[in-house]
Amino acid sequence: MKYEKAVVPDDIPIEMWKCLGDEGTSWLTKLFNTVLKTKKMTDRWKMRAITCVQTQGGLTKYFPISVGLHQGSALSPYLFALVMDVLTRHLQEDVPWCMLFASDILLVDRTKEGVQAIPGLPLLGNLLQLKERKPYLTFAKWAEVYGPIYSIQLGSTSMVVLNSTEIAKEALVTKFSSISTRKLSNALTTITSNKALVSTCDYGEYHKMVKKYVISGVLGANAQKRNLHHRNTMIENVVSKLSAKINDEDCSLVELREPFQSELFQLALKQSLGNAVDSIYVEELGQTILKKEMLEILVLDPLIGVIEVDWRDFFPYLRWIPNKSMEMKIQRTAKRKTAVTKALINLQKERIGRGEEISCYLDYLLSEETTLTEDQLIALIWEAIVESSDTTMVVTEWAMYEIAKNPTKQDRLYQEIRKVCGMKKITEEHLPYLQYLNAAFHETLRLHPPVPIIPPRHVHEDTQLGGYNIPAGTDVIHSSPFSFYTQYISLLSYMNNDCKCLLLNPINMSQITINLYACNMDKKDWDEPEKWKPERFLSDKYEPMDMHKTMAFGGGKRVCAGSLQAMLISCRTIGRLIQEFEWKLKDGEEDNIDTLGLTTHKLHPMQAQIRPRSSCGLV
């Protein structure tokens, strides 16, 4: 460009900007502002160097640039040099030179009905504040300070967190069409076969089709009637296994999880595949898999795998960088669960070929003559197995924990069962008349929601939630013909503390997530929300429909299809366990409430002392 006129800042060679350094940047800043004040700066320079900023309230006026934190809707090399100057100070290290051209910057303005942002760090945002196992607790604490709706920054991803039942229902029902697209992590995408499941696919024709299949084939009212015998057998097997652990002493120490989880898994296999085999040879793995290994491969390992953290989830524009250890671990988990599910499906197909088939979910899917691919068929069968084996176990264990911890409430429940059932074993026909049992189930869902945070969804059109403007997810930094290091772009401020400028990566979209835990701990809706009080639902203050206010099964068009089965199994299991045994927590167990996993598993299985009831001879 020697002896040529620089028509716009971009005409100045990169080498010049690289050589400017702090002193040069400061000098050029003063020069630009001096020229700007004379009102003799050409429009082309003005438009490329200091153009007005797009906010939720409209375009701002032109403003002088100062060395420090800056923002503009178009970043020239000059403005970018200023940004690098700021980030260098934040990072306390040299920043590699890079070029960035951005045609848009998203401005979240708290003074213009924008959602307030939680303060975070450059580049990382709020990631380091969410390192613990219970992010829903952190979300709830932030809600006490910043209100029921706020935004957080996870790397380059912006997320709006809802902590209010009213706003959550608005998102799930009223504004559902604006935020119906699921956002999956890399691990969840791999393990769930890229949105092939009912629970993870986007709302549309495929979702409507497969949800109809799972309701008709395994989870709906008619399917529950067909599988009643399997549920009866499962629950009595749990009672028998616990009875077998009782010795001659006054009390016996037991763990509920192992026998209950094992029997739930067998029930899931029977409902999905017609039979609960003790072992199966898996050709793709070259080995025979026993039932205990099947539980690990199909349920436990995937549930751990889907919460594996891949840093590329937070910096999507760096997905080209390999993360081999994480990828290999997740791919191995996905391969093993797919191989075992496929082997179980083939075994049932062989029985069908011999005329020995047993009515099950797989038979229903095959008889429908659907257009499902083999991968989709395998994914749907696996989903029916894993979801029937996990969340019901989680809520039942927490319910028994609370009942064993509260002897007065346990006695009230036992007396209700005696009054309604007499000397008969509790059946599903008794459940509508056991009000305190139903209240205990829903109170457990409120205090210990199996899935405390509803997975994120994309905002794909401008909408409002709780009176706040939620912009649609847009590509706010467009591609550049130059190489650049986008990881150095972070939260910038402009003009005052009430405005935040957010530079996002080219594929970022706004997301919504719902913190059910915080919704159910809201003191405006619940008296003493931190306490387990089933009787709250039986007082005059609450209506029967308030039991569903917990939203533990979601809401709107995406309400959980398995809610009926979960209620039938959990309530009847709790009732039978209280009928047969007196429960008391092991000493020190009250403080053992840590959780782990995608669902809120107790980190350590509940240990309790049980004593057979004096009233025996139930029929």
The enclosing domain of 563 has a CATH number of 1.10.630.10
Question: What is the mean pLDDT of the segment spanning 25-50?
Answer: 60
**Which structure tokens are listed for 618?**
């139930």
Question: Which of 161-175, 415-429, 520-534 is predicted least confidently?
Answer: 161-175
Count of CB atoms situated within 10 Å of the CB of 166: 14
Sign of CA dihedral 353, 357, 360, 363: positive
Give the separation between CA 348 and CA 355, rounded to whole angstroms: 10
Question: Does residue 400 fall inside a structural domain?
Answer: yes
Q: What is the pLDDT of residues 200-245, one digit of tens each?
A: 888 888 989 999 999 999 999 999 999 999 999 999 999 999 999 8
Same-domain status, 35 and 87: yes
Same domain, 547 and 409: yes
| pLDDT band, residue 288 (cuts 50/70/90) | very high
Q: Are residues 490 and 617 in the same domain?
A: no
Q: Rounded to whole angstroms, how far apart are CA atoms 252 and 611?
A: 7
- Give residue 550's Cα distance to chain centre: 16
Residue 103 belongs to what H/E stretch?
none
Q: Tell me, yes or no, whether 44 and 77 share the same domain.
A: yes
The pLDDT tens digits of the residues spanning 161-192 come to: 999 988 888 888 887 777 767 778 888 889 98
Residue ranges for the known binding site are 560
Residue 424 — pLDDT band, cuts 50, 70, 90? very high
In a domain, 241, yes or no: no
Residues 6+ apart with CB under 8 A from 152: 117, 118, 120, 125, 126, 142, 158, 159, 161
Joined together, the tokens standing for residue 315 give: 């910096």
Q: Using CA of residue 32, residue 37, residue 42, residue 48, what is the dihedral sign? A: positive
Cβ neighbours for 354, distance < 8 A, ≥ 6 positions apart? none
Q: Do 166 and 149 meet the contact criterion of CB atoms below 8 Å apart?
A: no
CA atoms within 13 A on the CB side of 49: 26
Specify which residues 608 forms β-bridges with: 254, 585
Q: Decide which of 503 and 81 is more confident.
A: 81
Give the torsion sign (CA, 318, 320, 321, 323): positive
Contacts of residue 532, Cβ cutoff 8 Å, sequence gap at least 6: 402, 405, 406, 409, 443, 444, 447
State the chain's maximal CA–CA distance in angstroms. Answer: 104
**Same domain membership, residue 549 and residue 479:** no
Locate tokens 């346990």: which residue?
410
- Bridge partners (DSSP) listed for residue 161: 150, 513
Q: Is the pLDDT of residue 381 over 60?
A: yes
Q: Edge to edge, what strands does the sheet with 607-612 contain?
A: 252-255, 607-612, 581-585
Q: Tell me the range of 304-313, 498-507, 521-530 where mean pLDDT is highest.
A: 521-530
Residue that wins the pLDDT comparison between 118 and 314: 118
484 and 618 together in one domain: no
Q: What is the mean pLDDT of residues 401-413?
A: 96
pLDDT for position 180: 66
Percent of the chain with pLDDT over 90: 36
pLDDT value of residue 133: 66
Residue predicted with more confidence, 96 or 467: 467
Tell me whether residue 166 is in a domain. no
Total number of residues shown for the chain? 619
Cα(266)–Cα(277) distance, integer angstroms = 8
Q: Which of 405, 429, 406, 427 is nearest to 576 (CA)?
A: 427
Check whether 126 has a pLDDT greater than 80.
Answer: yes
In a domain, 62, yes or no: yes
Count helices and strands (H / E) in the chain.
20, 19
Pairwise pLDDT comparison (221 vs 30), residue with the higher score:
221
pLDDT higher than 70, residue 484: no
Coil/strand/helix, residue 114:
strand
Tokens at residue 588, please? 């020190």
Q: Tell me, yes or no, whether 218 lies in a domain.
A: no
Predicted TM-score (pTM) of the model is 0.75
Do the Cβ atoms of 260 and 598 come closer than 8 Å? no
> In DSSP terms, which residues pair with 499 in a beta bridge?
109
Share the mean pLDDT of the chain: 76
- Identify the CA nearest to 259 among candidates 606, 509, 550, 586: 606
Same domain, 36 and 103: yes
Strand partners, 581: 612
Residues 435, 543: one domain? yes
Going by the annotation, the residues of the binding site for heme are: 560
553 & 603 share domain: yes
Query: What are the φ and ψ backbone dihedral angles of 289, each rounded to 5 degrees?
Result: -105, 125
Q: What's the confidence (pLDDT) of residue 53? A: 44
Domain-embedded: residue 461: no
Highest mean pLDDT among 44-53, 515-524, 590-599: 515-524
Rounded CA separation 224/267 (Å): 12
Task: Reduce the DSSP state of residue 374 to 3 states and report it.
Answer: helix
Q: Tokens 């772009």 map to which residue?
A: 489
Instruction: For tokens 């899917």, name the residue.
Output: 365
Do 444 and 479 fall within a single domain?
no
Domain that holds residue 588: 392-449+520-619
Residue 427 lies in a domain: yes
Of 19-28, 47-56, 543-552, 603-612, the one with minimum mean pLDDT is 47-56
**Interatomic CA distance for residues 569 and 389, integer angstroms:** 11
* In the predicted structure, residue 2 carries a pLDDT above the cut 60: no
DSSP 569-580: HHHHHHHHHHHH
> How would you classify residue 69: left for phi > 0, otherwise alpha for psi between -120 and 50, otherwise beta?
beta
**Looking at the domain assignment, is residue 420 inside a domain?**
yes
Task: Give the per-residue pLDDT at 1.
Answer: 41
Is residue 584 within 8 Å of residue 609, measured between CB atoms? yes
Sign of CA dihedral 149, 154, 159, 164: negative
Confidence of residue 547 (pLDDT cuts 50, 70, 90): low
Residue with tokens 């959980």: 560
Strand duo 453-458 + 511-515: pairing: antiparallel
Asked whether residue 72 carries a pLDDT value surpassing 70, the answer given is: no
Q: Burial letters for 334-357: b for 16+ Cβ neighbours within 10 Å, e otherwise?
A: bebbbbbbbbbbebbeeebeeeeb
Residue 599 confidence (pLDDT): 65
* Cβ-based neighbours of 547, under 8 Å, separated by 6 or more: 438, 439, 442, 537
* C-alpha distances in Å from residue 279, one per residue of 288, 356, 389, 586: 7, 19, 18, 35
Q: Please measure the distance between the N-terminal and C-terminal CA atoms of the chain and give it in whole angstroms.
A: 96
Residue of 293 and 546 predicted with greater confidence: 293
pLDDT at 360 over 50: yes
CA gap 604, 549 in Å, rounded: 29
State the Cα–Cα distance between residues 504 and 473, nearest whole angstrom.
10
pLDDT at 451: 86
Q: How confident is the model at residue 426 (pLDDT cuts 50, 70, 90)?
A: very high
Which tops the pLDDT comparison, 13 or 518?
518
Q: How many domains does the chain have?
A: 2
| Per-residue confidence (pLDDT) for residue 546, from 0 to 100 | 64
Question: Does 92 share its domain with 47?
Answer: yes
Question: Which residue bears the tokens 């010049």?
Answer: 16
Which of 519, 490, 452 is CA-nearest to residue 166? 519
Distance CA 322, CA 609 (A): 50
pLDDT at position 89? 40
CA–CA–CA angle 316, 319, 324 (5° rounding): 135
Q: Are residues 580 and 487 in the same domain?
A: no
